Chains A and B, each alone.
Chain A
């Protein structure tokens, strides 16, 4: 009987992964194109992810209370709670990215190369994390961890570059590009962390071993 509940849980997590990845992709596209067309949709998706996270939370508690799951089932349920939180955060970062575009835009004249470079790596990590989760394949998780290091290096390098620009041009009339890029880079860096947390969960489900705190 617990299988019915686990299937439902898996289905909700699948829906959340689709919504979360779609939102992040749309938010990055909006930044690239300096467009606010997707703003409403991303806001709604973020709210929906929060709602689904609550649904996962209720369902996991019910499954634990009614079926007292053990072993892989128990580890899967525990991980679903963490993963659903992760997807709701991805939705929130997508929301924050488009919010930055909205507040600081228009950003057409900005040099977006650092953000775009980092977004490609982060989207790849996110998609690999979702694939690992769908297939429960922990052989994919190392690819995510390796890319996290790249993201961290890119993030710090970009911040130092922006700091130089600000220092050199202290009378520069418009720092919107630097501020918006810094914020979005931070959101992308957080998304990459959450991709790692998903990878951690897949490892935990498969092996029972917890990953060290990041």
Chain B
């Protein structure tokens, strides 16, 4: 896998995609300069669905090149937090967001920030594999590039191969690139979705229960892939599987009823949580 990733990272870089040059607030920049290694910083984040207060004053920093697991019972706000991070939440009718999310030096909720640019810097993988059903394996991976105006066929071809290699799928599909994306197994489809996300060369990969619909072998491959990807990406993963969080993540955040209850190194959260609520949840006493 290492070689595959080296190929991926050492490969073609997309230079002609639009970028966001909106400056971030000065005070936040100065804070960030003191917090080297933090990729994404969330302050006082609140989110609503209509009148339902879904996220309550979330403050959390996600470290660069680390995997952070978001755990908590259903409805606690994990997915909403992911959707706020990549500005998908505001697309839901009646939904609203307040607070600050800083990606490197970009305040993503600043009025001048372009949601399209924000989304391009963050790949997202969902619970169920969702390849575009009418597209081939190749086109599934190439689609984001084409939609973003990349026309160089040679460049697209190289990036498709590198992305499939990065997702650990190339060897399995290299002779079937023209087959429909939905013709491969569920586990392969999920890795195809990861390849699709990687093709846009994101800095952060958001994963919403990426293995919940997969069998143990396919899940294991995805977990191995996630571990390898962190060398080049910051990964935030929502999972209901405590053992998966314990296996793959460097840091774990426990959420409950829209609040961030506890956040720390994964070993500490699972061996010696500081909050009784965390202990009861990870021990299976509720949830």
Contacts and interface: CB of A to CB of B under 8 A. Distances in A.
Interface string B239-252: 00011001000000
B279 interface: yes
Interface of B: 242-243, 246, 270-273, 278-279, 282-284
A69 B272 contact: no
A69 B283 contact: yes
A68 interface: yes
Contacts of B270: 70-71, 74
Secondary structure at the A interface, as helix, strand, loop or mixed, is: helix
B219 to A, nearest CB: 15
A56 B189 CA distance: 45
B243 A71 contact: no
Interface of A: 2, 68-75, 207-209
Given A68-B243, A70-B242, A70-B246, A208 B283 contact: no
A4 to B, nearest CB: 14
Contacts of A75: 271-272
Contacts of A68: 242-243, 246
A73 B283 contact: yes
A58 B82 CA distance: 42
Given A2-B284, A69-B283, A71-B272, 12 more contacts: A70-B242, A70-B246, A70-B270, A70-B271, A70-B282, A71-B278, A71-B282, A72-B279, A72-B283, A74-B270, A75-B271, A207-B272
Contacts of A71: 270-273, 278-279, 282-283
Contacts of A69: 283
A71 B279 CA distance: 6
Nearest to B282: A70
A44 B118 CA distance: 72
24 contacts: A68-B242, A68-B243, A68-B246, A69-B283, A70-B242, A70-B246, A70-B271, A70-B283, A71-B270, A71-B271, A71-B272, A71-B273, A71-B279, A71-B282, A71-B283, A72-B279, A72-B283, A74-B270, A74-B271, A75-B271, A75-B272, A208-B271, A208-B272, A209-B272
A2 B283 CA distance: 10
B264 to A, nearest CB: 12
A60 to B, nearest CB: 16
B261 to A, nearest CB: 14
Contacts of A207: 272
Nearest to A204: B272
A195 to B, nearest CB: 24
A136 to B, nearest CB: 14
Contacts of B283: 69-73
Taking each of B246, B271, B273, which has the highest tally of chain A beta carbons within 10 Å of its own beta carbon? B271
